[in-house]
Structure formats: structure tokens, C-alpha cells
Structure 1
Amino acid sequence: MHTRHRTVFGRFLQACAFAALSLALVAPAAHAAEKKTSKKQQVSSASAKRSTARKSAPVRKSAHSAKAPTRVAYVPERPSFGQLAGLHQVNDPLALKSSVALVIDQDTHEVLLSKNDHAVLPIASLTKLMTGLIISQARLPMDEPLTITQDDVDTEKGSRSRLTVGTTLTRGEMMHLALMSSENRAAHALGRTFPGGLDAFVAQMNAKAKLLGMTDTQYVEPTGLSSRNQSSARDLATLVNVAHGDPLLRELSTSPSHEVAVGRRTLQFNNTNRLVSSPAWDIGLQKTGYISEAGRCLVMQAQVAGRKIIMVFLDSAGKFSRLGDAERVRHWVESRSHAVVTAGGK
């Protein structure tokens, strides 16, 4: 009986040991499972939070994945000098988008339309018309190579250019790009390499303006990037009339496009005024311009209804509005070639 009790007791001890061993083995696994479940719950919770955040936040799609065009916040342009002066409040019969306009008969000097034509405003790249006139009349060799340097890089507005530092083109090619596609570095290089340097060139620009009777005009550099380059529609009409008498300026400013070899590459530049390619227009000279202070600007000499017409548009609001204004004037001149309209500035 004693032996039997010992046997039973021994079996009891073995069972307890086995149970303890089982608990020891199960506990880590259960703990690990609990941690795993806890992590799953945390991930699920975080996922739920992100899902809620995505639902509450606006959905943004990349440009590649979006089916519809993505909307970009509109940043309004800085007001032009003309807008600040209230010039856009002046009405005219053609509802022009330009706050300043002047249309005259080149032969008779008859004023067909005027609007704030004495206002003095920044003229942006219309400046390059005087730059071209000075270079052309200086009779400098057009085949002389000029090289773009760091001095020609725009620090005024930070504008871009495909003419990298080190690019070498002839003076004639620089002239072509400056007048046709309004290339700023090309225009600056023309002034910088003028005999006597940039200061002498700017002095020549102002001297020529004074000689032509452009009393409202001032130049401080040859590109038009500076808002201190200023003039009036009256003065610019005078400049267009004189520049139109130069065959080189007529040819280069109305060229639709031009290719230049830059190293191993061939670059094509296009005219900033698409009207030169329109069969509805017969344009003898043109120049566009834009900086925020000046708005969109345009000067042209064109044949309209059998008349030689000079048009000046300054401070136009909207990217294509200056061309729209030119179209309005052309249609108006064609329908009323002898009308004289005056609005504001008188």
C-alpha cells in the first residue's frame, strides 16, 4: 500500500511537472501572439486614422494619374504702372484692353485713335527697337562674333535664356534674335560690346531719343527688363516711323522664325508676334514687350485698307489682348478708314 501511494504520488508530480512545462512553453507564444495582436490593432488604428484623414482632406492626384487637369492656385500678376494710375478706367469706342493706344496714318500723320497717348509708362522690350536702331546706324560689322558672358545674364527679373554663357553668335544673329524673339541676353550683348561699352551705348540710346524729339523717353539699359525704361505712345510712334525706314530692322523684326547653330545643336527661335505669319496682315515692322510693370505692349507698322498705319499699344491686360486690340483696330480702320476717335489723355 505504501508503494502504491508512492507510485500515485510520483505520477501526480510528473503530471504537475508536465503542466508546468506546458505553461512555460505556451506563455511566450501567447505573449508573442498578444504582442502581434496588439501591433495589428495599432496598425489597424493608424490605418483607420489615415483613412479618416484622407477622407477629410482634399484628394490630390499627380499630373500623371489625374484624369482631369489639376487645378493650380492662381497667383495674380503685380499691378502695372498703368493700372496703379487708373488708366484702365478710361473708355474708348473699341473697348481696347490696352490702357494706352495710338493709331496714326504714317503718311499724313493723322491721328485715327488715341487713348492716354501722353502717359509715360515702362515699355519693356519695346526698348529693343531703339537698341536695334543704334546698332544698325553704327554700321558695325554684322559678321563679327560676339560671346554671351555672365554680364549678360538677367539679374533684374531672373528671366531665362537658351543662349547659355559662352554661346558665340555673330552680331547679325544677335540682332535677329533680339528683334524677332526678344532675346534679352542677345540685346544686352549688343550693348555691352558697343564701342565704349554699355554706358556709352545707353548714352547713345538717350541721345538718339532726344534727337528724334522723344521728350517723354528715358533708357537705362538695352533690354527693357528695367521698369525705368519709359516712354509715351507719342514718342514710340515717332520711333516706329524712323525704325521702319531701316531695311535691316524691317527684315529682322518681321521674320517669322530663325535657326542658329549653338555648338553641335541647332536652335530655332520664333517671332513673339504671331500676326507676322497671318495672311490677313501686311506688317512692315513690329516689336512686342512685357514685364509686369509695363503690361503687354506692342508697336507695329502695317498696311491697312491701303493706308500705312502705325499702331502703339501699351499696358494691355491679358496675354493675347494686345493682338486682339490690333485686330480690333484693323477691322475698325477697314470699316472707317477716315474716322478720328479720341478717348482720354486729351
Structure 2
Amino acid sequence: MNRLVRTIAWSVLALALAPAAHSAGAKGGAKKDAKPSVVKKAHGGKSYSSARTVAVKRQTRSVVRLVPAKPSHGQMAGLHAASDELDLRSSVALVIDQETGQVLLRKNESAVLPIASLTKLMTGMIISEAKLPMDESITISQDDVDTEKHTGSRLKVGVTLTRGELMHLSLMSSENRAAHALGRTYPGGMSAFVEAMNTKAKLLGMKDTRYVEPTGLSSRNQSSAQDLAQLVMSASQDPMLSELSTSPGHEVTVGRRTLQFSNTNRLVKNSAWDITLQKTGYISEAGQCLVMQAKVAGRKLVMVFLDSAGKLSRIGDAERVRRWVETQTPAGVPMPTTGGNTLVRQVSS
């Protein structure tokens, strides 16, 4: 009799626990089947993927939890809702014929957003105009270590390079410690350097621009596409900035080692492009960013792309614009226009 009672009791308990076990198994299975994206550390023009992955041990099985990436300022402002015929992934875009002033494309061009490492273009301009000795040795210090985004660097504390080498790495490979060291060793120190950056911005008519440091790691470095186009046009007149920013790669000797650095913009190695100045940028608040001066179909164009979603999307947007311009008229023949600043294509918002 007691044996029969125990058997009935166990059967009732099993029936009671079955739904809960089935529910837990379904939830665990859904998470296990999710495809996590790979995480990369942010560093200048380098990027994070759209989600972070966290592996969790639960009841002898691995469960993956997806954590959404932090939205950019452009996403929070709803700028990604703007549509256009070119299907651009950048929420902000501006393309100008530098020689005629003709605006070929604009999209949210007056929006003020974080600009990430596009900042380094102004950093390079201030150093170049200061006429400081490019062969002067500068040692990376603890002050140059990133405490904003905690990014890494192959330029360890104690490494000594020339100012010219730091300029090269800053503009070409978006090296943050290099850019910070340039500002730190400016006459008067970092505060004087940031003041010089903002003063130069005002002189160029960049009314929507503000800098707080020389690397772009701070989201408080902000500007608009209109202002950045003006910066590109001015910087392109400096042969050193043009040469260093478009260099495909550069080697530096650190102790007994030789370090190879590459350009963060893969288009500089693309034979279809004739790029005379460029800079990339990325932090989560800014999204993927790119500014360039390039010759397309016989025209000297200034291109600005801000807050682009996806690691390769800014490159894809530039390619779309290049192909579009090339198909408008034969090479070397100006696009039809009724005058300066004629808008060829307006993006709806």
C-alpha cells in the first residue's frame, strides 16, 4: 500500500514540474540558437559590431545573451529615418564640387553630431601651421593613455617617436596616443592646443563646431557636415596633411621592433579612386564617419559621411556616390547646372 502511495505521489509531482521544465528548455534553446556578432575594440576608424556577446554557464550548457549596442546620437535624434534614392547608410551626407561650389547631394547636412577621429584632421592642421620641428623626439607618457573609451595602442608608454611620425600615425591610422601626444607637447600645453583648435574653427566659419580634445574619443567633439566640408577644403591646401592622410601604410621602429601601421580607409589602395585627402572616425556615439577630397569624373569633390551604420557602410556610401557622379556625364564634362550651389540631389527627411 505504501509503495502504491509513493508511486502516485511521484507521478503527480512529475506532471506538475513538466510545464516549467518545457518552458525553461524553450527559452534556453532560443538563446542558444541566436547568432552572436563578433566584438571588436573601438580605435579611431575601427569599429564595434551591432551587438556584444556574453557567454553564460547555466545548467551545464552555454547560453549566449545579446546586448544591444549603444545607439549613436544620430539614431537617437531619428536622423536614420531620412531616405534617399542612393540608399545611403549614413544619416548625414554632403557632397560638394569644390571648384564650383555646386552642392551635388545633401542629407541632414546641418545636424550637429559627434565626429570621432575626424577631429584629428584639425589636430594635424594646428600642428602643421605651428611650424613645429617635425624631427623633434616626443615620448608617449601615461597622460596619453585613453581614459575616455579605454582603447588600446601599440605605442606603449615610454616609446619615443618624432613629431612627424606621430603626425603620420595620427592622420593615417588614427592612432589616439599619437594625436594626444601632439596636443600635449604643443607650446602652452593641452589647454592652449584645444583653444587653438576652436579658434581655427571659428576662422574657417565652422560655427557648429566645438573641440574639447585632440583625438576624437570624446563625444563632446562635435560638428556638422557643412562645417566639416569647409575643414576638408582648407586642409586639402596643406601638402603635408594630404600626403600623410592618404599614405597606404607606414613603418616605425620601436626599440628592436618594427611596427607596421595601415591606413584606416581602404579606399586609398583602390585604383578606382584618386583621393587627395581623407580621414575616418568611429566611436559609438558618432557611428562610422568619413570625410574625403577626391577626384571623380574630372571633378574635385568633397564628401562627408557621418553616423553611418555598419563597419563598411561609409565605404559603400562613398562608392555609391562615385558611381552616381560618373554616370551623370562623361569624364571631364561638368554636370549640367543653372548656377553655383545648384542642388542636384536633395535627400528627403
TM-score tier after normalising by the smaller chain length: 0.7 to 0.9
CA RMSD between the two structures? 1.7
Give the structure 2 partner of residue 302 of structure 1. Answer: 294
Say which SS state the counterpart of residue 209 (structure 1) adopts: helix
Secondary structure class of the residue paired with 2:154: coil
| CA distance in 2 between partners of 1:335 and 1:155 (Å) | 47
Gaps of 5+ in 2: 1-24, 34-61, 330-334, 337-343
Cα deviation, residue 76, structure 1: 2.7
SS in 1 for 2:326: helix
For 1:76 and 1:182, how far apart are their aligned partners in 2? 26
How far residue 75 of structure 1 moved from its aligned partner, in angstroms, is 3.5
Shift of 1:73: 4.9
- Is it true that 1:343 corresponds to 2:347 in the alignment? yes
* Amino acid of the structure 1 residue aligned with 2:263: N
Deviations 1:198-238 (A, max 9, x none): 00000000000000000000000000000000000000000
1:207 aligned counterpart, secondary structure: helix
Matched residues in 2 for 1:72 and 1:266: separation?
39
Pairwise CA distance, 1:77 = 1.7
Q: Residue in 1 aligned with 2:167?
A: 175
Match of 1:247 in 2: 239
- Distance across 2 between alignment mates of 1:284 and 1:71: 48
| TM-score, length of structure 1 as denominator length | 0.79
In the alignment, does 2:284 pair up with 1:280?
no
Deviation at 1:285, TM superposition (A): 0.3
> Could you tell me the TM-score, scaled by structure 2's length?
0.78
1:89 deviates by 0.3
| Counterpart-to-counterpart distance in 2, 1:94 and 1:313 | 13
Q: Secondary structure at the match of 1:333?
A: helix
Looking at secondary structure, tell me which structure has more helix per residue: 1
**Tell me, which stretches of 5 or more residues in structure 1 are unaligned?**
1-55, 61-69
How far is 1:188 from its partner?
0.2
1:141 aligns with 2:145: no
Cα distance in 1 for partners of 2:113, 2:228 equals 11
Deviation at residue 343 of structure 1 after TM alignment? 1.4
Correspondences of 1:316-331 after superposition (within 5 Å): 316-331=308-323
Structure 1 position 93, deviation (Å)? 1.3
Q: Which residue, out of 250, 260, 276, partners 1:268?
A: 260
| 1:36-67 Cα shifts (integer Å, max 9, x gaps) | xxxxxxxxxxxxxxxxxxxx88899xxxxxxx
Contact 1:259 1:266 in 2 (8 A): yes
How far apart in 2 are the matches of 1:274 and 1:317?
Answer: 17
Take 1:152 and 1:103, find their aligned partners in 2: how far apart are those partners? 35
CA distance in structure 2 between the partners assigned to 1:253 and 1:140 by the alignment: 19
Deviating above 6 A after TM superposition, structure 1's stretches of 4 or more consecutive aligned residues are: 56-60
Give the corresponding residue for 1:206: 198
The match for 2:89 is: 97
Match of 2:332 in 1: none
State the alpha-carbon separation in 2 of the partners of residues 134 and 73 from structure 1: 45
CA distance in 2, matches of 1:220, 1:96: 30
Equivalent positions of 1:1-346 (< 5 A) are 73-337=65-329, 338=335, 340-344=344-348
Provide Cα deviations, 1:113-152, integer angstroms capped at 9, x if missing partner. Answer: 0000000000000000000000001000000000000000
Residue 134 of structure 2 aligns to which amino acid in structure 1? M
Q: For each residue in 1:89-115, what CA deviation from the matched residue of structure 2 results, as whole angstroms up to 9, or x when unmatched? A: 011110100000000001011000000
Deviations 1:292-321 (A, max 9, x none): 000000000000000000000000000000
Aligned to 1:3: none
Letter of the structure 2 residue corresponding to residue 317 of structure 1: A
| Cα contact 1:114–1:344 (8 A) shared by 2 | no
**Residue type of the alignment partner of 2:161:** L
Q: Separation in 1 of the partners of 2:80 and 2:313? A: 13
Q: In the TM superposition, what is the alpha-carbon distance from 1:165 to its structure 2 partner? A: 0.3
Within 1, Cα distance between the matches of 2:254 and 2:348? Answer: 48
- Helix, strand or coil at the partner of 1:91: coil
> What is the total number of aligned residue pairs between the two structures?
281
Partner Cα distance (1:71, 1:98) in 2 = 34
3-state secondary structure, aligned to 1:255: coil
* Structure 1 equivalent of residue 20 of structure 2: none
| CA distance in 2: counterparts of 1:114 and 1:71, whole angstroms | 45
- For 1:162, what is the secondary structure of its paired residue? coil
Q: Flag the 1:164–1:92 CA change in 2: closer, same or farther, 3 A.
A: same
Corresponding residue SS for 2:117 = helix
Q: Aligned AA for 1:220?
A: V
Letter in 2 for 1:202: V
Provide the identity percentage: 72
Relative to structure 1, the CA distance from residue 140 to residue 121 in structure 2 (aligned partners, 3 Å threshold; closer, same or farther) is same
Counterpart of 1:11 in structure 2 is none
